[in-house]
Amino acid sequence: MKKSSVLVFALFIMVFNSCNSVDGNKTETTTNEIKAGVVNQINTELFKKLVYNYQKNPNDWVFEGNQPCIIDFYADWCRPCKMVAPIMEELATQYKGKVTFYKINIDQERELSQTFNIQSIPALLYIPANGKPQMSVGLSNKEGYIQQIQSLLIKAQESN
């Protein structure tokens, strides 16, 4: 009787684990899952759809989005990046509906980090709806990021 109970329990555990592992590691964001008011994790494929398709337009910046955005290039091991993350979350809430916030892991998206010549992180790419993007490297405080957002994205949007 004990052997059959153990066998049934083991079978139950195997079935339970196999059911949970189906798409259990899926953490990638899709185009339909992009949300306002939060920092959205994206990959190279989504970057090309939502921000800039550098393969299709290698010589000209053609913004694919409809409102200004910020790209936070980061790595999980980077301590300053970990300090920037909660600030970006706060700013994503503060600028909800005005600025879209994305983050890209440079270790997972090497092609993209090479395309933008990311050599130091945190690196933030400020992208106005019209005009050329500007890169900012290094850690700043919340007020510094707000100044950048206001001058590079919000005022640029209002003048167009």
Residue 4 pLDDT class (50, 70, 90 cuts):
very low
Range in 6-20, 22-36, 127-141 the model is least confident about: 6-20
Distance CA 11, CA 6 (A): 8
Residue 19 annotated as catalytic: no
46, 69, 78, 153: the catalytic one is: 78
Under CATH, which architecture does the 31-158 domain have?
A: 3-Layer(aba) Sandwich (3.40)
Out of 46, 70, 71, 81, which one is annotated catalytic?
81
User: What is the reported pTM?
Assistant: 0.78
pLDDT band at 32 (very low <50, low <70, confident <90, very high): low
Catalytic annotation present for 69: no
Distance CA 99, CA 146 (A): 12
Q: Is 159 helix (H, G, I), strand (E, B) or coil?
A: coil
Alpha helices in 2-59 (DSSP H): 2-21, 44-50
